[in-house]
Amino acid sequence: MKIRDVEFTEFISEAEISAKVSQLASEINRHYADRSPVFLPVLNGAFMFAADLIKHIEVPCKVSFVKFASYEGLTSTGQLKSLIGLDESLFKQDVIVVEDIVDTGLTLEKIIAELESLGTRSVEVVTLLRKKTAREKNISVRFTGFDIDDEFVLGYGLDYDGLGRNHRQLFRAVRP
């Protein structure tokens, strides 16, 4: 499959993703057996993963989406995009951040810092994919689907230049 200038090849099938999502949901059901967590999927990439994961959650739960505003603010570094969707209703809540992929961990660091400043009771992270960089940096992720190498992936919510989120399976970029 080709998107713009890049060739992609199938990486993780729909069946493998589905099995992993059920397994992650079981771990979360066990961990939160006597609690009522709030899922916080990070848009846009986590929308498909979050929808599938939350269908398997059996404890009472809430869902609230967050997103990084697309403008870059006053900085040229691109690191200070503001986060929208967080509010005081998360005070004393057990929050589960739902990510599609953790790469450098910068996105998560920012979300976790903001959540803690709102007085949450606990914050854990579930991610479908975790790249090597995140493992080397010891970014704390409680529930991880697949540990992958540092390669560019697409599909199942993840995009390349806005395209490719619609696919049921994951693809990876073929190196030239």
Task: Out of 1, 19, 106, 163, point to the residue binding ligand IMP (CB under 6 A).
Answer: 106
Task: Out of 21, 25, 90, 102, point to the residue binding ligand IMP (CB under 6 A).
Answer: 102
């949901």: which residue's tokens?
25
On whether the CB atoms of residues 50 and 98 are closer than 8 A, the answer is yes
Task: Out of 41, 105, 145, 155, point to the residue binding ligand IMP (CB under 6 A).
Answer: 105
Shortest Cβ 58–ligand IMP spacing (Å)? 27
On whether the CB atoms of residues 172 and 13 are closer than 8 A, the answer is no
Task: Out of 11, 103, 112, 171, point to the residue binding ligand IMP (CB under 6 A).
Answer: 103
DSSP for 93-147 reads -EEEEEEEEESSSHHHHHHHHHHHHTT-SEEEEEEEEE-HHHHHTT---SEEEEE
Distance of CA 64 to the CA centre of its chain: 13
- Least Cα distance to 7 among 164, 168, 162, 165 occurs for 164
Shortest Cβ 33–ligand IMP spacing (Å)? 28
34 catalytic residue (yes or no): no
x/- track of binding to ligand IMP for residues 131-160 (CB under 6 A): ---------------------xxx---x--
Q: Is 94 in the site for ligand IMP (CB under 6 A)?
A: no
Residue number, 93 or 107, with CB nearest to ligand IMP: 107
Give the span between the Cα atoms of 173 and 117, in whole angstroms. Answer: 38
Q: Is 112 in the site for ligand IMP (CB under 6 A)?
A: no
Contact residues for ligand IMP (CB under 6 A)? 45, 99-107, 152-154, 158
